[in-house]
């Protein structure tokens, strides 16, 4: 354990925040947790965490604050609207592991710096399975010294890579989500076409595994499609948020992203048709609906 970072606050104890907070407790850190719905934070009580009733109280003694919040607007509200940033001690490091827009991450970093605080954006990939196993891919943007300051703690959660200045972690996460979201669509469309033509979808998935089509998406999400198992791990609506953030960022850079634009539309339609709270592999269901397939 990094002896200089003993008091850790986790803001946001949801699908990812709970297993990540649990791992930090198990690693020996003194963890204080806050969540808008207190019952979710209280799940960490048996792990040894303390529960705070408000963000400002949660961060008052923290050496490092982890944010695992819904979106950039919520991060801003908790840090600046609800007074968390103002309650932190000078020199506290904020590690924002939420998935937000790069421009928001840069803005938050500047505002925190003006308050005598440090910031890195460090979104993750790997879902709840990776969070439970401590095998997340962690993409960090910000000052290298602060990334190294957080390294020992973050390596309890996964594999840390410093990818550039403030906002670069969020750019890497958008790249990840673009690839994941698009690949889910490719796998779903291909398997559905095979089923429509009379092939055994499970056997097709097995047959193409190991070739150039092999991927984690084909392995994991493809199996969910075969089993029609769309219980939420990462929701359609979360994937849609990330695709929209990718498009907003692309437009701000003057970059054309026609493939991402198409998939933003597909995920939007899946959400509008009532599939938003299913796992993002349920884009399969939207494509099946379009083709008159159950």
Annotated catalytic sites, by residue?
173
Q: Encoding tokens for residue 181? A: 């979201």
Distances (CA, A) of 56 to 29, 88, 216: 20, 8, 40
Element containing residue 119 per DSSP (H, E): strand 118-121
Residues near 266 by Cβ (< 8 Å), separated by ≥ 6? Answer: 185, 283, 286, 287
- Residues 245 and 251 sit within 8 Å (Cβ to Cβ): no
Element containing residue 50 per DSSP (H, E): strand 50-51
- Residues 142 and 120 sit within 8 Å (Cβ to Cβ): yes
Backbone angles phi and psi of 28, in degrees to 5: 100, 5
């Amino acid at each position: 354990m990094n002896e200089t970072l003993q008091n850790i606050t986790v803001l946001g104890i949801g699908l990812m925040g709970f297993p990540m907070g649990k791992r930090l407790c198990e690693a020996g850190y003194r963890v204080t947790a806050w969540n808008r719905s207190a019952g979710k934070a209280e799940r960490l009580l048996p792990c040894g965490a303390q529960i705070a009733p408000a963000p400002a109280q949660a961060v008052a003694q923290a050496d490092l604050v982890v944010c695992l919040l819904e979106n950039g607007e919520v991060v801003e509200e908790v840090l600046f609207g609800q007074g968390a940033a103002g309650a932190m001690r000078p020199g506290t490091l904020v590690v924002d592991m939420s998935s937000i827009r790069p421009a928001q991450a840069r803005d938050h970093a500047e505002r925190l710096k003006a308050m005598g605080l440090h910031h890195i954006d460090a979104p993750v990939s790997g879902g709840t399975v990776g969070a439970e196993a401590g095998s997340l891919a962690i993409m960090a943007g910000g000052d290298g010294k602060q990334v190294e300051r957080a390294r020992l703690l973050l390596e309890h959660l996964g594999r840390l890579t410093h990818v550039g200045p403030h906002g670069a972690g969020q750019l890497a996460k958008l790249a990840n989500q673009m690839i994941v979201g698009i690949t889910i669509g490719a796998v779903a469309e291909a398997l559905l076409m095979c089923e429509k033509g009379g092939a055994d979808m499970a056997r097709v998935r097995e047959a193409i595994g190991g070739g150039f089509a092999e991927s984690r998406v084909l392995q994991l999400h493809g199996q969910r499609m075969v089993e029609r198992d769309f219980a939420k791990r990462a929701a359609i609506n979360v994937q849609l948020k990330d695709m929209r953030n990718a498009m907003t960022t692309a437009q701000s850079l003057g970059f054309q992203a026609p493939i991402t634009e198409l998939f933003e539309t597909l995920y939007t339609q899946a959400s509008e048709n009532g599939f938003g709270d299913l796992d993002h592999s349920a884009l399969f269901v939207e494509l099946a609906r379009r083709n008159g397939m159950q």
